[in-house]
């Protein structure tokens, strides 16, 4: 998760992702979440920049606002669906 109003938090995503991949199972499902979309008027990270990053690294992507609950439920739904699909594919081949 990064803060859409803070470019430094987005720059740290690469490092966090590397650390995650070094320490987690290779088949984990990862989602990049941009938070604080309620502060769009001071956005520092364009949606398309983050979306392109996620696509390049084969991550799920969504932007949310914890303050007003925008896309929070959808983020969990996407993640659970991705985990379920990966599990079914692994089990059923």
Here the tokens at position 79 are 């993640």
35-52 per-position pLDDT tens digit: 999 999 999 999 999 999
Ordered by where they begin, the domains of the chain are: 2-92 (3.40.50.300)
Which whole number is the average pLDDT over 54-79? 97
Kindly report the average pLDDT of the chain as a whole number. 95
- Those residues whose C-beta lies under 8 Å from the C-beta of residue 61, and which sit 6 or more positions away, are 31, 32, 33, 34, 50, 51, 54, 55
């Amino acid at each position: 998760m990064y803060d859409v109003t803070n470019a430094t938090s987005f720059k740290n995503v690469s490092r966090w992702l590397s650390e995650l991949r070094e320490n987690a199972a290779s088949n984990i499902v990862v989602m990049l979440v941009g938070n604080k979309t309620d502060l769009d008027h001071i956005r520092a990270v364009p949606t398309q920049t983050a979306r392109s990053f996620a696509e390049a690294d084969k991550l799920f992507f969504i932007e949310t606002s914890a303050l007003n609950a925008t896309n929070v439920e959808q983020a969990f739904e996407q993640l659970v669906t991705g985990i379920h699909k990966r599990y079914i594919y692994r089990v059923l081949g």
